[in-house]
A and B are shown apart, each in its own frame.
Chain A
Amino acid sequence: MIPLDAASSSPWHFWGYFLDHRSQDLGYLWDHTWLSVVPVVVGLLLALPLGWLSRRYNWVYPPMMSITGLLYTIPSIALFVLIPPLLGLDPLSPLQVPIALSVYSVALLVRVVADGLGAVSPETLQAATAIGFKPLGRFFRVELPIAVPVITAGLRVAIVANVSIVTVAGTIGFDNLGRLFDEGFKLSTDTPYYPPIILGIILCVLLALVLDGLVLLVNRLLTPWRRAVPT
């Protein structure tokens, strides 16, 4: 852990740093991965009914968008700290980070879901009802599938944003790739200690790229009809 000489603090030494702390860094990567993914899934599950409500009742849409917009402006570090007292959790509960991130995901995704559902053409909706779909069937078999491209576009933003916000929780002691930045900072003397910082950046970017790619892949699998139509 102690930097031994000038060469090992070079930014290019990140690979050596990784090999020296491999099991710890892989642990951070895993923590970072589930902290990025699970809140987006939770956020989406909550955003679906809220987005539907904002479409179903027009008067709900403006306040819903204002509230979710406001939620997103709360600084993440404040939210991490405020969630345990607000929800009556132990101040050191490991749940506060995923809960806070779920809040951000909901905030982002409610608008996306509402707009995606709003993009379904009125003729299609009318035909679905007239043909004999019940409301739930219409939602899951007509509206939601047609909204998938818009929703996945939002999911890509949400998941990449989460990869970034999770690091903030690392600096207040929760295990994830953010811990690498904290360590780089602590080990810095008169010059920055680069290897863990560079490693953290590289792993975050790679993770974001992989998760983004996964969302794209899911979108592709769910929307063969989009590729068939020249736009």
Chain B
Amino acid sequence: MIRFDQATKRYPDGTVAVDELDLEAPSGKITVLVGPSGCGKTTSLRMINRMIEPTSGTIWLDDTDTASMPAHELRRQIGYVIQHAGLFPHRTIVDNIATVPFLIGTDKRQARARAMELLERVGLDPAFAKRYPGQLSGGQQQRVGVARALAADPPVMLMDEPFSAVDPVVRDQLQDEFLRLQDELGKTIVFVTHDIDEAIKLGDQVAVLRVGGRLAQLAPPAELLSRPVDAFVAGFVGRDRGYRALGFTSAGTIVTRDEPTVTMGESLPGSDGSWLLAVDPSGAPQGWLHLADEPHGGVVEDRMLYRGGTLATQGGTLRGALDACLSSPSGRGIVVDDSGRLIGSTTAREVLALIEGLPDAAEVGA
């Protein structure tokens, strides 16, 4: 647990970066600090490991006042990941990861063995171990950055916009893997971002800060979307709040109807309907066939498929279900089971009925 107790950072010129912040980041959870530039989110983060010393107030790490021990000892117990990773260009990847164990005097061989485990854990080929950071892509470097932060198995991790310098596709991947990793590790994480979507995706709780370093709202993501406390938070949380909030509401068991299918490689049926779903032999949907496009028949091939539709998972969220309907060229949203096999289809009208039927519209997500 990390607790800010009236923490303030005031610079000699009078600027107040963080103003009497009271905030608790619970153990084993991800707390995201988000806000516009100048809101003091990074300053707050850096006060935790004393890269920046608070002017007044206290920051507690469990029952320890962080000011009560030498800064370098505090920092070695706290993992730190930053934008652009900040790897050491002159050290191999494995030695970058093992930096903190080396610092605290762990046996070299043991530290490297642990670094190799972490390399795989963050999804990198062990062949990268002997390379140098300059030989890796930005996304790969960021994975190494995460592995380095985990090397000494610190209970606490601080992450300062770690994924904002990589392209959107890689960012999405890194975020998903980060969540999967956190499921296994259960670290106490404080995560800074300026991207509200990232905050909502990653946070167990989200702290919205306003310029001048004051806490505007601290809430779980769904509550932030459904009940912003004031106009500032509402404006910051942004458009499509209602739609995004559906991402936190279970669709329950969606009632589906059977969807006729054709298996890849089989011959096209002479058909009546205009859209037909193609599946692979295991029953996993591959895409839609527009039968009017194929007047000469033949077998179902990859090139014939429309792949625009997303898939809703049975037991998933209302947002997933609605999106599957809206993105499907046939207008029929495809529902699959956990292993990706077809269950049936539903329609936007039916999903909307589910949304309409929620116990209390104002309680969406709460």
Q: Which residues of A contact B (CB under 8 A)?
A: 121, 123-134, 137, 142, 145-146, 148, 223, 225, 228-229
Contacts and interface: CB of A to CB of B under 8 A. Distances in A.
Given A127-B86, A128-B88, A229 B135 contact: yes
A131 B90 contact: no
Top 10 A-B residue pairs of the complex, sorted by shortest distance between their CB atoms: A127-B86, A229-B134, A123-B86, A132-B76, A130-B80, A132-B75, A225-B132, A228-B132, A145-B90, A132-B72
B82 A229 contact: no
B100 interface: yes
Contact of B100 (A123, A132, A223): A132
B51 interface: yes
Contacts of B131: 228
Given A228-B134, A229-B135, A132 B103 contact: yes
A54 B100 CA distance: 29
Interface string B75-87: 1101010111111
Nearest to B77: A132
Contacts of B80: 127, 130-131
Contacts of A128: 86, 88
A95 B90 CA distance: 38
A225 B89 CA distance: 7
Interface of B: 49, 51, 72-73, 75-76, 78, 80, 82-92, 99-100, 103-104, 131-132, 134-135, 145, 148, 158
Contacts of B49: 130
B72 A133 contact: yes
A197 B319 CA distance: 88
Contacts of B88: 124, 127-128, 142, 146
Contact of B87 (A124, A129, A228): A124
A121 B86 contact: yes
Nearest to B91: A225
B51 A129 contact: yes
B125 to A, nearest CB: 16
Contact of B84 (A123, A130, A137, A229): A123
A146 B82 contact: no
A167 B87 CA distance: 46
Contacts of B99: 131
A126 B51 CA distance: 9
